[in-house]
Amino acid sequence: MDFSLTPEQELFRKSAREFALKELEPIATEIDREHRVPLEILKKLGELGYLGMTVPEEYGGIGADMLSYVVVMEELSRSCASTSTAFSVQNSLCNTLLVEFGNEAQKRKYLPDLAAGKRFGAFALTEPESGSDAAGMKTTAVAKGDYFILNGSKRFITSAGFADIFLVFALTDPAAGNRGVSCFIVERGTPGFTVGKEEDKLGIRGTSTCELFFEDCKVPKENLVGELNRGFKVAMVTLNSGRIAIAAQAVGIAQAALDEAIKYSKERKAFGKFLSEFQAIQFMLADMKAKVEAARLLTYKAAWKKDHKLDYIMDSSIAKLYAAEIASEVTDQALQIHGGYGYIRDYKVERLYRDARITRIYEGTSEIQKLIIARELLKE
Ligand code: COS
């Protein structure tokens, strides 16, 4: 068993860390306060190839392995979870979906621009009344001539405010439940398609999250991704791998909280001693480190299994569940070490505490991860 990263993976880590320190660290607080998406930074990520990490070279990407992608996700998240969220939506939920399920024409048409950050994508599965029960969606797509006519709405769609290409799931056979779902590419500007208001969120405030509305929206038949009525599987397979990146995001946020806690405990004095000299604080730091390390190993293992074409469904859910849960615990402990200073916006740990919370919700709640793990354990 070899736990070391390859020289290429190490290089990805180093360059991502440098990028994060130079470009993200200085703006992370500001975009959080202003609730602003740093489009200029996202474009830079595209120019440097980061938005095409999971795209093969023939379609304009850099064809990196999953572990490299995960390592980059972790490093970006240490500095700015908002930026890493948009980075993962593009890579995990749009590009990977098109690479794995798109036809040749769709890949040639969309992937080069997505990989270069010239256009942005969004993944539209959740609806106002269906989140965890993804197949409970109400949006329909009815075949008519050369088009599908979409009607319905989507909610909590990340990157929607600035995305150009939306991967939308809709019922093409409502009576068939999850066997009647299909996936479509809907471009911004398609008549009948509108993007609604921005949500005002607790964390990852430098991201855009909106509602989508479809009113007799005519989508060309060639925009069907994968087979008709097999879209649920497309969503599930895409989320299996997306969850590994969210686990990496949680690891990155937790690592940043640990870094901040160590720094603060060496600067701040109480009762005539540095906080770091108190065993109570040392034990908290040790607990945090053990949790971060365990979450990282689970995340890397899931990525490694994907790279080695092994079944990784359970590993991805275990990594996402554990990393997301400990990110909340570790950011909470880091905030506690900061005392009152952790509760005000001047300190990074306050943002980390809020940003960590979403990792227990999106791309499947912690409860959904437990359900998937249990199903895998109990299946024949
Ligand atoms: N990977 C691959 N295939 C999967 C899968 C997975 N993780 N989970 C289900 N499937 C497949 C099943 O194999 C089945 O395929 P067949 O039609 O070929 O038999 C099909 O999908 C339907 O499976 P099932 O009946 O188990 O689906 P359910 O409707 O019971 O839903 C859960 C299963 C709850 C696991 C699913 O709805 C889910 O993951 N929900 C969370 C959605 C989510 O993460 N939302 C966040 C949105 S993005 S922010």
361 secondary structure, DSSP code: T
Residues paired with 219 in a beta bridge: 148
Question: Cβ(369) to ligand 1 under 6 A?
Answer: no
How far apart are the CA of 178 and the centre of ligand 1, in A?
8
Ligand 1 and 236: CB distance under 6 A: yes
Residue having the nearest C-alpha atom to atom 46 of ligand 1? 363
Q: Residue-wise pLDDT tens for the chain (380 aa)?
A: 899 999 999 999 999 999 999 999 999 999 999 999 999 999 999 999 999 999 999 999 999 999 999 999 999 999 999 999 999 999 999 999 999 999 999 999 999 999 999 999 999 999 999 999 999 999 999 999 999 999 999 999 999 999 999 999 999 999 999 999 999 999 999 999 999 999 999 999 999 999 999 999 999 999 999 999 999 999 999 999 999 999 999 999 999 999 999 999 999 999 999 999 999 999 999 999 999 999 999 999 999 999 999 999 999 999 999 999 999 999 999 999 999 999 999 999 999 999 999 999 999 999 999 999 999 999 97
Cβ(312) to ligand 1 under 6 A?
A: no
* Residue nearest to ligand 1 atom 20, measured at CA: 233
Q: What angle do CA 53, 59, 64 make, to 5 degrees?
A: 25
The reply to whether ligand 1 has any atom less than 6 angstroms from the CB of 28 is no
pLDDT at residue 380, rounded to an integer: 74
DSSP-assigned letters across all residues of 23-88: IITTTHHHHHHHT---HHHHHHHHHTTGGGTTS-GGGTS----HHHHHHHHHHHHHH-HHHHHHHH
Report d(CA 200, CA 83) in Å as an integer.
Answer: 17
Partners of 181 in the beta sheet? 171, 230
Q: What is the pLDDT of residue 1?
A: 87
Q: Which residues have a catalytic role annotated?
A: 363
Counting from 1 in the atom list of ligand 1, the atom nearest the Cα of 134 is: 37
Residue nearest to atom 48 of ligand 1 (CA): 363
Angle (CA) 6-322-210 rounded to 5° is 95
Closest listed residue to residue 40, CA positions, set 59, 27, 21: 27
Secondary structure class of 335 (helix, strand, coil): helix
Give the 3-state secondary structure of residue 195: strand
Q: What is the pLDDT of residue 350?
A: 98
Phi-psi domain of 171 (left: phi exceeds 0; alpha: psi -120 through 50; beta: other): beta
Residues 6+ apart with CB under 8 A from 77: 84, 248, 249, 250, 251, 252, 253, 256
Q: Which residues of 181-198 are buried (b: 16+ CB within 10 A; e: fewer)?
A: bbbbbbebebeebebeee
Residue labelled with tokens 């070490």: 337
Distance 233 CA to ligand 1 centre (A): 7
